[in-house]
Amino acid sequence: MLELPSRVPPYSEDAERSVLGSVLLDSVRVIDIVVNAGITPESFYIPQHRTIFEAMMEMVQSSRVVDLTTLGEFCKTRGFFQEIGSPKLLTGLIDSTPTVANVEYYIEIVLQKQLLRGIIRASQDTEQSAYSYDEPAEGLRSKAEFDFGQLRQQKTETITPDVAIQRQFKAWQTAQKTGCAGIPTGFELIDKGFGGLMEGSFMILSGKAGAAKTTLARNIVENVAMRGIPASICSLEQTTEQVWGSIVAREAKQSVFLLNCGNPRIDWAKMVSAKAIVSKWPISIDDRPKSPVQLWSWARSEINKRGSKLLVLDYLQAMTPTAGKKYGNDESMIREFSDTCRAIAKDLRVCLIAISALSNTGNLRGSGMIGYDAWGHIQLRKADDWKMPDNLHYLADVEKQRFGPESKDADLWLIANEQRLEEKEYAKNEGPTIDRTQPSEPDETERLVGPSSAIEMIDEEAPF
């Protein structure tokens, strides 16, 4: 068998030397440019260059000035010359740097070569895994997508305390004007109780079966999308068609229950009108199974391609275990799911709301770490006076608020005909009562429009 000659991975010695030389010539200005561009020790292919950059970063972190003399003394004290060779190498870095003015050009070359090496490494790992992979191929494809997604150049940013504080002041000043520092949801429970949906926050909505937690999450998405803010739903419980159908029905103020039962009471003219409105909202829905790696891939794609500011996972315990991983017990598996959600929210700087089931004892099912990982936790339950169908009264308890107090018994009423939650008490009497036994007579609108003619107006591809 013919053996192919080994190839040297992509790198540019001249660009690496020029980046390091630029730091030595003007560290006060250049070091910030280098760090903010995303240069790390791994960006350098030549081992000696990697060691020199690590020494520079260690000096910067200890507030030392970096120049030819101080770096040489630092390397001598730490014994780094055993790794990088002669001290003349440092002088050579300056001699080989044409001009500090072109440092951003040198940086771009180094980053491009690093990215190419990463692509080669990820391709080789994927190829090797494909030969021996025993799990479904989709799992490997998703892992490969995730690995390649991780190679995207990240522009890291190191900010001064003054800049960081000023940004936070700006968020608080926004709260003075709008009532909340984060994205408004239309629910005082969240906007006043949490300051809206904060960037980087991982929120939990929990409750027993029938506690309207999914309805609350969907209503939040609807209220956010109405403001033109992109939101994405990962639905592991309902199909894409069912979720979109509920959104349209809510906008049309029509009962999903009556729609499912084929009741002639439905106002199809309103449904058609609502479809035209809702289809323009910046909402994305994905109902495919998600492992932790696949959730990362989905989240990154929704943010990069759609600009989503809110991610919703329905629901946490329905995620797919990592292929081939032995958890030992359900608690460790759910802990991985929870940690994944926390990391996605923080690293991608987005709000992620996850719906969580409760155990028979009333705790978050699967792992106590969910509560620790979450930025906030709201638990819903039926009120004592809950009554079908005219008083669907729920209570919401804030079990955790990272920057504020817990609270109990916030009122929510579900308008069943519209699949809509309201915080006002009068809402419990809104809307007609559903007669579950007898079909109702068509109203005046249906007599004029006719349900059949309205249905014909709906595209066959309509998602409900």
Let me know whether 223 and 355 are in one domain: yes
Residue 36 lies in a domain: yes
- How much is the mean pLDDT over the chain? 81
- Can you tell me the distance from the alpha carbon of 68 to that of 51, in angstroms, rounded to the nearest whole number? 15
182 in Cβ contact with 227 (< 8 Å):
no
Q: Which two tokens stand for residue 131?
A: 């030969």
Q: State whether 353 and 226 are in the same domain.
A: yes
C-alpha distances in angstroms, 87 versus 5, 78, 193, 342?
A: 35, 13, 60, 46
Q: Give the pLDDT of residue 232.
A: 96
Domain with residue 98: its CATH number is: 1.10.860.10
In a domain, 280, yes or no: no
Angle (nearest 5°) at CA 239 between 306 and 144: 55
Q: Please indicate, yes or no, whether residues 206 and 304 belong to a single structural domain of this protein.
A: yes
pLDDT less than 70: residues of the chain? 1-6, 133-136, 138-139, 142, 146, 149-159, 323-324, 359-363, 365-368, 425-464
Q: Helix 13-25 and helix 27-37: axis angle, to 10°?
A: 140
- pLDDT value, residue 357: 83
Q: What is d(CA 286, CA 367) in angstroms, rounded to the nearest whole number?
A: 25
230 and 126 in a common domain:
no
pLDDT at residue 6, as a whole number:
67
Integer Cα distance of 291 and 297 in angstroms: 10
Burial class (CB in 10 A: 0-12, 13-18, 19+), 382: middle
pLDDT on residue 451: 39
Q: Which residue range(s) make up the domain with 299?
A: 174-238+287-321+328-433
Alpha carbons 257 and 177: distance in angstroms, whole number: 40
Per the domain annotation, does 454 fall within a domain?
A: no
How high is the pLDDT of residue 122? 84
Residues 100 and 212 in one domain: no
Q: Which of 238, 273, 261, 248 is nearest to 463 (CA)?
A: 248
Q: Are residues 332 and 219 in the same domain?
A: yes
In this structure, the answer to whether residues 310 and 191 fall within a common structural domain is yes
The answer to the question of residue 268 being in a domain is no
How many CB atoms lie under 10 A from the CB of residue 335? Answer: 19
Residues 100, 30 share a domain: yes
Distance from chain centroid for Cα 103: 34
Q: Which residues pair with 351 in a beta bridge?
A: 310
- Has residue 118 been placed in a domain? yes
pLDDT at 420: 86
Segments in 233-329 forming alpha helices (H):
240-252, 256-261, 268-278, 292-306
Q: Are 341 and 354 in contact (CB under 8 A)?
A: yes
Judgement on whether residues 342 and 429 belong to the same structural domain of the protein: yes
Domain of residue 184, CATH code: 3.40.50.300
Taking CA 350 as the corner, what is the angle to CA 304 and CA 41, rounded to the nearest 5 degrees?
70
List, in sequence order, every residue forming a beta bridge with 232; answer none if it has no partner: 284, 311
- Answer whether residue 345 is part of any domain: yes
Q: How many domains is the chain partitioned into structurally?
A: 2
- Kindly state whether residues 187 and 335 are assigned to the same domain: yes
Give the C-alpha separation, 462 to 190, whole Å: 32
Interatomic CA distance for residues 204 and 354, integer angstroms: 5
Indicate whether 112 and 220 sit together in one domain.
no
Kindly report the pTM of this predicted structure: 0.64
Note whether 113 and 197 are same-domain residues. Answer: no
Give the three-class secondary structure for 445: helix
Is 335 a member of any domain?
Answer: yes
The answer as to whether 354 is a domain residue is: yes
